[in-house]
Amino acid sequence: MEKPRHPHDYFFRQTFGLPEVALDYLRNFLPKELAEKLRFEAIERVEGSFVSRKLRTHISDIIYRCPLKSKGSAYITFLFEHKSTPQTYPHLQLLRYMLEVWERAVEEKKPLPLIVPIIVYHGKTRWELKPFSDSFEDWDESLRPYLPAFEYLLTDLSRLTDQAILGLDAQFLINVLILLKHQGEKEYISANIRLIFFQLAGQNKIRMLLVYILFTTEFTGEDWDDLVEKTPSPVKQLAMSTYDMLINKGKEQGIELGKEQGIKLGKEQGIKLGKEQGIKLGKELGKELGFELGEEKKAREVVQALLLEFPEFSDARIAALAKVEERFVKALRGT
């Protein structure tokens, strides 16, 4: 799998990068007067990103180009807010983003494209949608022409009920929004796992949801086994194989390396004893030590891999996933 900078970012890119998800979103959430001007049947994904290095810790983008029914086209940009709290000045963030788009167009000697920015926010604190003009103090109407004026579309999942999401005229988008809204909510996910996978088919889509659940919720190995038992039958096998895929590879590598190192060390110690009994003892010690080193090595491999890919995870979550003690994770992290 591609290494994600962040599990939320990775899930967003996988899901909203699917044209069917993007189109379902646009048909359900765009203002009617704007939707009527777009030729949805000709929409196309634009590869790449316009997010600058400075903004990468805050947002991710998925870009589509959609022709207008009259003439020309517009960029529809889905911007996923990483933070769990609203931005104080979202217009400034968006302005930096749009400048990246327009400056690239200038460099390529192309007309400046129209941009429809859409922010998808999954935090628990409600996002207050305000016009850019509210960010400036002490001005009157005579100064309005000198104020930057553009707006954005916002989907604040904290304001959408489950019933509203389930009522959308959509397919996979419903599963995606339900899970984004309740990410990290262990009790909700355990109680509503069948709802999360409601009417969902296709191994790739099911695996997307499973991986996101696994890396955003504090499930121990036992918790995961209990969750699997509640899943619809098409999901069960994939749930176990997904967990194994993320954990077992590191374990197997650790066991093999540890056994080789341990057996070699045991043989060397046995030879130094200079007697047959010592050699025999050394070999036995090597096998025993090899197993112990293998166990430690496999745990180290798994923990280091998880720390590398998901540095924001707590020591407790890493320990639960790797099935080791929390102090082992702390030692490897250096905390």
Please tell me the distance from the alpha carbon of residue 232 to that of residue 223, in angstroms, as a whole number: 16
Higher pLDDT, 241 or 254: 241
Please tell me the distance from the alpha carbon of residue 320 to that of residue 335, in angstroms, as a whole number: 17
Residue 17 has pLDDT above 90, yes or no: yes
Judged by average pLDDT, the poorest of 13-17, 38-42, 237-241, 331-335 is: 331-335
pLDDT at 3: 40
User: If you average pLDDT over residues 136-146, what whole number do you get?
Assistant: 91
Q: In 171-206, which positions are buried (b, 16+ CB within 10 angstroms) versus exposed (e)? A: ebbbbbbbbbbbbeeeebbeebbebbbeebeeeebb
Per-residue pLDDT band for 169 (boundaries 50, 70, 90) equals very high
Query: pLDDT (tens digit, 9 = 90+) per residue, 79-131?
Result: 988 777 788 888 998 998 999 999 999 999 999 999 999 999 998 888 988 99
Please tell me the distance from the alpha carbon of residue 321 to that of residue 228, in angstroms, as a whole number: 15
- Provide the H-helix boundaries in the chain: 7-16, 19-29, 32-35, 90-107, 162-166, 172-181, 186-191, 193-196, 203-216, 221-230, 233-273, 276-309, 315-322, 326-333
Please tell me the distance from the alpha carbon of residue 283 to that of residue 335, in angstroms, as a whole number: 37
pLDDT at 261: 54
Chain centroid to CA 162: how far? 21
What's the whole-number average pLDDT of the chain?
A: 82
Nearest residue to 68 via CA among 113, 109, 112: 113
Judged by average pLDDT, the poorest of 191-205, 219-233, 314-328 is: 314-328
